[in-house]
Structure 1
Amino acid sequence: MNIRKITGDKKEYIDLLLLADEQESMIDKYLERGEMFALDDSGVKAECVITKEADGIYELKNIAVMPDCQRKGYGKSLIEFLFSHYTDCNTMFVGTGDCPYALIFYQKCGFTESHRIKNFFTDNYDHPMFEDGKQLVDMVYLKREQNHAEKNPSIDI
């Protein structure tokens, strides 16, 4: 398994990006300002786009795993890679729909609910969005805070 930064044409991965965010105009709002990483395991299995929002604060804008590769640890591996890659990351946010599958995945990756943006999906998308048969309305933001002492046990607190 290899994770590499994509520095070329990020739109080459649009089909994978659209799995996690099905409206291309919304992807366009963050794609160029974000950094993209692809997880390759005998072919690209997953990707993510992350943006730096402020000092020590990052937002995971898009993470997608090929449908036939889901539930095999690829998404979690990408998230763990991001925390090791961005050593200055104190807090990572991720926004998702209010659906159990996504919320459980992020909770298993160490995220907790932070806040919600009411009517995000109905106000920002040009068509109704559905996941697991449920219409998405509010954006659920989750966060994971990094304890830098855990990464460097020689720090005395």
Structure 2
Amino acid sequence: MDIIQITENKKQYIDLLLLADEQESMIDRYLERGELFVLEDSRVKAICVVTDEGDGVCELKNIAVTPEFQRQGYGKRLINYLVTHYSGKYSQMIVGTGDVPSTVKFYQSCGFEYSHRIENFFTDNYDHQMIEDGIILKDMIYLKRKI
């Protein structure tokens, strides 16, 4: 298993990025300024984008696991790698997600805890209704982890 940072032609991974963030114009807001990592294990299994938010904070903007490899620990391995990789450079990692129990539980299992909520984020920023696990997304939930 290898985790590599991609610095050029980041859009080649757009199909996978769209699994976690369904609107390409939203991905375009952070992809080029973010650092893109790919977890490979004989092929691409997971991908993520991390941005510098200032004041010692980085944000996990996008993390996606290839559908047939979901729930096999690849997302958690990628997050653990990021925590080690950014340790010393940042003091905190944040992540914003929909208010969906399964997703929040995943991040909590990775050491994140509730930080704050941005009301109407999904309804105000996306051009279509966002649904995850049968739940219509409205507010963005932010979680944080010390690193």
Shorter chain as denominator, the TM-score bin is over 0.9
Inter-partner Cα distance in structure 1 for 2:10 and 2:103: 24
2:13 maps to amino acid = Y
Query: Map of 1:82-121 to 2, 5 A cutoff?
Result: 82-87=82-87, 88-121=89-122
Match of 2:129?
128
Inter-partner Cα distance in structure 1 for 2:35 and 2:72: 24
Moved over 2 A (4+): none
Cα drift, residue 138 of structure 1: 0.1
Match of 1:6?
6
TM-score, normalization by structure 1: 0.91
Cα drift, residue 83 of structure 1: 1.2
Q: Say whether 1:51 aligns with 2:80.
A: no
Question: SS of 1:11's equivalent?
Answer: helix
1:114–1:141 Cα contact (<8 Å) kept: yes
| Number of residue pairs matched by the alignment | 146
Inter-partner Cα distance in structure 2 for 1:53 and 1:9: 23
Inter-partner Cα distance in structure 2 for 1:86 and 1:55: 14
In the alignment, structure 2 segments of 5+ residues that lack a partner are none
1:59 maps to amino acid = E
Question: SS of 2:94's equivalent?
Answer: strand
Cα drift, residue 9 of structure 1: 0.5
Q: Say whether 1:25 aligns with 2:25.
A: yes
**Percent identity (aligned):** 66
Inter-partner Cα distance in structure 2 for 1:134 and 1:71: 20
Q: Say whether 1:77 aligns with 2:58.
A: no
Q: Larger deviation: 51-60 or 3-12?
A: 51-60
Inter-partner Cα distance in structure 2 for 1:134 and 1:53: 29
Match of 1:61?
61
Inter-partner Cα distance in structure 1 for 2:133 and 2:56: 34
1:130–1:136 Cα contact (<8 Å) kept: yes
- Deviations 1:82-125 (CA, angstroms, capped at 9, x unpaired): 11111222110000000011101000000001000000000000
Inter-partner Cα distance in structure 2 for 1:3 and 1:138: 32
Q: Which structure has the larger Rg?
A: 1
1:135 maps to amino acid = I
Cα drift, residue 10 of structure 1: 0.5
